[in-house]
């Protein structure tokens, strides 16, 4: 009989790799979206221009730089407005104010919307009914008109404008958050956490909210673009802060001279368009990255 060869354990050639985290998976999926990556690059370019632009082009946007309505030339690269202020300096410095208004107003919108929607969707009953009525009240009001009233009452300051935009724009976020919480609250993992002794606050913040975040994040990106458009609309109607340069203020102050100096209106309008477009593309890319249905198709 032939001697049996001893069994030698096989050597592992490849080490076991840990599973990728959901954040890494979402990032890889986002990088597969051409529109999302393009929007992120455009948005980063705009942000970098507003941050380092004053160092490369040190011109005060509120100072008189030349004759009114001077066309683009070597002294004023994008021309001057009706007061003789440098348009390029206004774009560089105004971008900070406009993007800040968009970001802060979006935070206010998301904070109010998530709070109202989470309370209504989690507790239901009388609390939900009351919060739904409040949400419907804000939803049927024209947001721009309501913001105009708030700015008129409390003053045309950039801080007031930011708060006004955030206060009038939260109803859609509240409805979305409410729907997510109502969908999640009766699932098995939530019931298991409740059976383990988790309180309502823990369930809302540590269990339900993380699972509702994908939809909230997409809403946040859209809210930033909406806030930028709101600021531009308010300033176009003469309700902007005259002491702080912004893209909307440039549009509002030069709207009556569109035929005399097209550059004073065209360039700030193009800046608003590009910023909102970039934010919308980033939002679409994030939606593609965190939406499990779209992820299965790729």
pLDDT of 134 reads: 93
Which residues of the chain fall short of a pLDDT of 50?
A: 1-2, 10-12, 14, 296-298
pLDDT of 1 reads: 44
Q: Per the structure block, which two tokens stand in for 275?
A: 């910023």
pLDDT of 256 reads: 86
Inter-residue contact 231 to 248 (CB < 8 Å) = yes
Among residues 194, 216, 218, the alpha carbon closest in space to that of 207 is found at 194
Domain residue limits, the chain:
99-292
Place of tokens 């606050």: 201
Cα–Cα separations (whole angstroms), residue 45 to 38, 52, 64, 85, 98: 11, 11, 28, 24, 15
Architecture of domain 99-292: Orthogonal Bundle (1.10)
pLDDT of 17 reads: 53
pLDDT of 39 reads: 93
pLDDT of 119 reads: 93
pLDDT digits (tens, 9 = 90+) for 24-73: 777 788 888 888 899 999 999 999 999 999 999 989 998 988 889 888 88
């Amino acid at each position: 009989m032939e001697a049996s060869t001893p069994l030698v354990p096989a050597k592992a050639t490849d080490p076991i790799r840990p599973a990728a985290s959901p954040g890494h998976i979402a990032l890889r999926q986002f990088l597969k979206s051409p529109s999302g990556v393009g929007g992120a690059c455009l948005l980063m370019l705009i942000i970098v221009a507003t941050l380092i632009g004053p160092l490369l082009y040190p011109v005060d946007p509120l100072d008189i730089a030349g004759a009114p309505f001077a066309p683009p030339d070597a002294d004023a690269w994008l021309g001057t407005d009706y007061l003789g202020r440098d348009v390029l300096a206004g774009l560089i410095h105004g971008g900070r104010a406009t993007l800040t208004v968009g970001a802060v107003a979006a935070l206010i919108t998301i904070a109010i919307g998530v709070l109202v929607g989470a309370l209504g969707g989690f507790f239901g009953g009388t609390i939900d009914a009351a919060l739904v009525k409040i949400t419907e009240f804000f939803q049927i009001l024209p947001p721009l008109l309501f913001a105009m009233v708030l700015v008129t009452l409390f003053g045309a300051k950039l801080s007031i404008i930011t708060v006004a935009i955030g206060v009038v724009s939260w109803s859609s976020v509240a409805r979305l958050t409410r729907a997510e919480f109502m969908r999640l609250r009766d699932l098995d993992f939530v019931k298991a956490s409740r059976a383990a002794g988790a309180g309502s606050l823990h369930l809302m913040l540590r269990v339900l909210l993380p699972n509702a975040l994908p939809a909230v994040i997409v809403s946040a990106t859209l809210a930033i673009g909406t806030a930028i458009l709101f600021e531009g609309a308010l300033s176009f109607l003469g309700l902007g802060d005259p002491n702080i340069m912004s893209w909307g203020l440039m549009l509002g102050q030069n709207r009556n001279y569109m035929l005399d100096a097209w550059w004073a209106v065209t360039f700030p309008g193009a800046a608003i368009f590009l910023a909102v477009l970039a934010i919308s593309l980033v939002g679409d890319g994030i939606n593609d990255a965190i939406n499990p249905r779209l992820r299965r198709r790729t």
